[in-house]
C-alpha cells in the first residue's frame, strides 16, 4: 500500500479533467491500520495505568436509597470507589450535551444504565470484581418509556441548529381545495450506533495539566468540556485521538465517562483507563430516537404539490432537548409554495439521544418519500414522474440557488439501471431479486 493517493496527471485545457470516481485508491493510513500500527484511544502505552469500571443503574426511574461500597473498597487492588455521595463539586459545561456531560450528580435515576459509581483498581479484573461487589438498593417508580402514550406532553424545542417550527405560504388556506390528498403516519424505530471501537478514555494529569486519549471525533468539544468541568485554562487540556474506529454520530461530543476517567485519575493520582462495555454502549453514548411523522401531502390532478405538512414527534431524555430534524428534507426536497413543519419532543426515561448518520435526513426522507409514493398511487402517476414534476430548482426554504444539483440525472440513470419502465406499476406486485452479475 502506498502512503499517499495517486497524483492526477497534468492535462491541457482541451483534455478532460482527471476523475477518481470508480478508481481504487490507497488510504494514507491504510498500512498503519492493517498492520496494527494505528493506535486507538485505549491502546496507548501509559506507565502506571490503573483501570476504571462503571457501575450503572439497573432501573429506569427512581432513586438510590442505599449504596453499599464497603466490600468494593476492601477488595484487592482497589484504589478508589467514586459515587455521587463523594463526588467533588463540578460545574456544568456549556458544550452540548450539557444535561448529560457531568456524571453522578445525584442519586436520582432518570434512565436505565445511568452511571452511579466508578471503581478504580490496579487491574481491569480487580476493578470488575469490586464493581460487582457494590450493593445498590433503589426506590423505584414506573418509568415513562413509550413516547406514543405521551404525545400530549410534546413540546417544540428551542434549538438554534435546526428550527423546531418553520412555515412558508398558507397550508391551511390551500390544502382543503386540493383534489388529491394523502394523510399518513410513518414511524421509525430507535437505532444505535455501536461502532467496532467502543468508547474509551485514558486520562493522566501532570500537575494542573490534563492529557486525555479519547475515542472521539470532537477533540475540540471534548477539550472545552473538560476545561470547563475542571476549571482549567484551555491550553492546559490536551485531547489526543489520531484514529477513530467508527463513530456514526455517537463520537461527535463528550459523554459522562470521559470526565469520570479524568476525575478518577485526579483522585487516585494515577493514569486511568476506562473502556465502555458493549452493553454500556447501548445506554451511555446516545442513539437515534424513534420518530412519529404525521405527513399531509396535497396536489393538483396533474401532480403538482400545492400543500405539505409535516408534524414529527421524537423522544428525548429528562435532561436535554435533542431534536431529530426529520423536517429538514421536507423543507427543501420538492417545490411547493405552502409548507408547514413542526417538531415536538417528548421526555421519557432514556439516556440522551444524539446525532446518527444523516440526522433527520435519513428518518425524515423515509416518511417523505413514502408519502410521495402513496401520492403517486392516488394520482395514478409514475412515482419518478411525480418527483420530476415537483423538482426544486432552488432551495425554496431560503430562496437561494443550489451550488450544484444533479438529482434529475440520478433519476434518469437509476431508472435505466433498475429497469424502471419494465416494472409493474401496481403496488405490492414486485419482488426484489439479487443479480448474479
Per-residue model confidence as pLDDT tens digits over 174-200? 999 999 999 999 999 999 999 999 999
| Same domain flag for 349 and 319 | yes
| Same domain flag for 206 and 224 | yes
Q: Is residue 201 part of a domain?
A: yes
**Given the C-alpha cell 438554534, which residue does it identify?**
160
In sequence order, which ranges of 194-335 are alpha helices (DSSP H)?
Answer: 219-229, 257-268, 281-284, 327-332
The cell for 333 is 426536497
Position 35 scores a pLDDT of: 95
Closest by Cα among 182, 187, 184, 171 to 341: 171
Q: Is residue 24 part of a domain?
A: no
| Same domain flag for 360 and 417 | yes
Position 433 scores a pLDDT of: 54
Position 10 scores a pLDDT of: 46
C-alpha span between 127 and 53 (Å, rounded): 6
Backbone angles phi, psi at 41, to 5 degrees: -55, -40
Of 245, 268, 284, which closes a domain? 284
Q: Is residue 297 part of a domain?
A: yes
Q: Is residue 409 part of a domain?
A: yes
Of 255, 284, 313, which closes a domain? 284
Identify whether the C-beta of residue 182 lies closer than 8 Å to the C-beta of residue 309. Answer: no
Q: What is the CATH classification number for the domain harbouring 361? A: 3.30.365.10
| Same domain flag for 88 and 154 | no
| The dihedral sign for the CA sequence 293, 319, 282, 252 | positive
| The dihedral sign for the CA sequence 63, 69, 71, 77 | positive
| Same domain flag for 106 and 241 | yes
| Same domain flag for 409 and 318 | yes
| Same domain flag for 373 and 393 | yes
| Same domain flag for 169 and 117 | no
Position 239 scores a pLDDT of: 98
Whether cis (ω within 30° of 0) applies to the bond prior to 97 is: yes
Q: Is residue 413 part of a domain?
A: yes
Q: Is residue 23 part of a domain?
A: no
Helix, strand, coil distribution of the chain in percent, nearest 5: 25, 25, 50
| Domain total of the chain | 2
Position 25 scores a pLDDT of: 85
Identify whether the C-beta of residue 141 lies closer than 8 Å to the C-beta of residue 62. Answer: yes
Position 207 scores a pLDDT of: 97
- What is the domain range of residue 306? 147-191+287-422
Closest by Cα among 295, 306, 294, 293 to 180: 306
Give buried/exposed letters for 257-286 (b at 16+ CB in 10 A, else e): bbbbbbbbbbbbebbbbbbbeeebbbbbbb
| Same domain flag for 224 and 349 | no
Our CA angle for 255, 260, 265, nearest 5°, is 140
| Same domain flag for 269 and 208 | yes
Position 3 scores a pLDDT of: 42
End-to-end CA distance of the chain: 29
**Given the C-alpha cell 411523522, which residue does it identify?**
293
Q: Is residue 160 part of a domain?
A: yes
Q: What is the DSSP letter of 288?
A: B
pLDDT in tens, 117-162: 999 999 999 999 999 999 999 999 999 999 999 999 999 998 767 8
Of 284, 311, 344, which closes a domain? 284
Q: Is residue 368 part of a domain?
A: yes
Low-confidence ranges of the chain (pLDDT < 70): 1-15, 95-103, 105, 160, 431-437
Which pairs with CB-CB distance under 8 Å and at least 24 residues apart come from 65-69? 65/107, 65/137, 65/138, 65/139, 66/135, 66/136, 66/137, 67/107, 67/116, 67/117, 67/134, 67/135, 67/136, 67/137, 68/134, 68/135, 68/136, 68/137, 69/117, 69/134
Position 91 scores a pLDDT of: 79
| Same domain flag for 183 and 214 | no
Identify whether the C-beta of residue 156 lies closer than 8 Å to the C-beta of residue 355. Answer: no
| Same domain flag for 277 and 322 | no
Counts for the chain of helices (H) and strands (E), in that order: 12, 17
Amino acid at each position: 500500500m502506498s502512503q499517499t493517493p495517486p497524483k492526477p496527471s497534468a492535462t491541457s485545457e482541451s483534455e478532460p479533467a482527471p476523475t477518481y470516481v470508480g478508481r481504487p485508491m490507497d488510504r494514507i493510513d491504510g498500512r498503519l491500520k492493517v498492520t496494527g500500527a494505528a493506535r486507538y484511544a485505549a491502546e496507548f502505552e501509559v506507565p502506571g495505568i490503573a483501570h476504571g469500571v462503571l457501575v450503572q443503574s439497573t432501573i429506569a426511574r427512581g432513586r438510590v436509597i442505599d449504596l453499599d461500597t464497603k466490600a468494593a473498597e476492601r477488595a484487592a487492588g482497589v484504589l478508589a470507589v467514586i459515587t455521587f455521595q463523594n463526588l467533588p463539586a463540578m460545574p456544568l459545561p456549556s458544550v452540548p450535551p450539557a444535561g448529560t456531560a457531568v456524571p453522578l450528580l445525584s442519586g436520582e435515576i432518570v434512565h436505565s444504565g445511568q452511571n452511579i459509581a466508578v471503581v478504580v483498581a490496579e487491574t481491569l479484573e480487580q476493578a470488575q470484581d469490586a464493581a460487582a461487589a457494590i450493593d445498590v438498593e433503589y426506590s423505584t417508580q414506573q418509568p415513562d418509556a413509550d413516547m406514543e402514550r405521551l404525545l400530549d406532553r410534546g413540546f417544540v424545542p428551542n434549538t438554534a441548529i435546526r428550527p423546531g417550527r418553520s412555515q412558508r405560504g398558507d397550508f391551511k388556506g390551500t390544502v382543503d381545495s386540493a383534489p388529491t390528498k394523502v394523510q399518513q403516519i410513518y414511524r421509525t424505530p430507535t437505532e444505535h450506533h455501536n461502532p467496532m471501537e467502543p468508547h474509551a478514555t485514558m486520562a493522566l494529569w501532570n500537575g494542573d495539566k490534563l492529557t486525555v486519549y479519547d475515542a472521539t471525533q470532537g477533540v475540540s468539544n471534548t477539550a472545552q468540556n473538560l476545561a470547563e468541568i475542571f476549571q482549567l485554562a484551555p491550553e492546559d487540556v490536551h485531547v489526543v485521538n489520531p484514529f477513530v474506529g467508527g463513530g456514526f454520530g455517537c463520537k461527535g461530543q463528550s459523554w459522562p465517562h470521559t470526565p469520570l476517567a479524568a476525575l478518577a485519575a485526579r483522585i487516585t493520582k494515577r493514569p486511568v483507563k476506562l473502556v465502555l462495555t458493549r452493553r454500556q454502549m447501548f445506554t451511555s453514548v446516545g442513539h437515534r430516537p424513534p420518530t412519529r411523522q404525521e405527513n399531509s401531502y396535497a396536489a393538483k390532478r396533474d401532480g403538482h404539490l400545492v400543500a405539505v405538512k409535516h408534524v414529527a414527534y421524537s423522544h428525548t431524555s429528562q435532561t436535554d432537548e435533542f431534536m431529530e430534524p426529520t423536517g429538514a428534507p421536507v423543507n427543501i426536497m420538492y417545490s411547493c409554495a405552502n409548507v408547514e413543519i413542526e417538531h415536538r419532543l417528548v421526555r421519557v426515561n432514556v439516556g440522551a439521544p444524539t446525532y446518527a448518520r444523516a440526522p433527520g435526513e435519513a428518518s425524515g426522507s423515509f416518511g417523505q418519500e413514502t408519502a410521495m409514493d402513496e401520492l403517486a398511487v392516488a394520482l395514478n402517476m409514475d412515482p419518478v414522474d411525480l418527483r420530476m414534476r415537483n423538482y426544486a430548482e432552488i432551495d425554496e426554504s431560503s430562496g437561494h440557488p443550489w451550488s450544484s444539483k444533479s438529482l434529475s440525472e440520478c433519476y434518469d440513470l437509476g431508472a435505466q439501471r433498475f429497469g424502471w419502465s419494465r416494472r409493474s406499476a401496481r403496488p405490492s406486485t414486485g419482488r426484489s431479486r439479487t443479480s448474479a452479475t
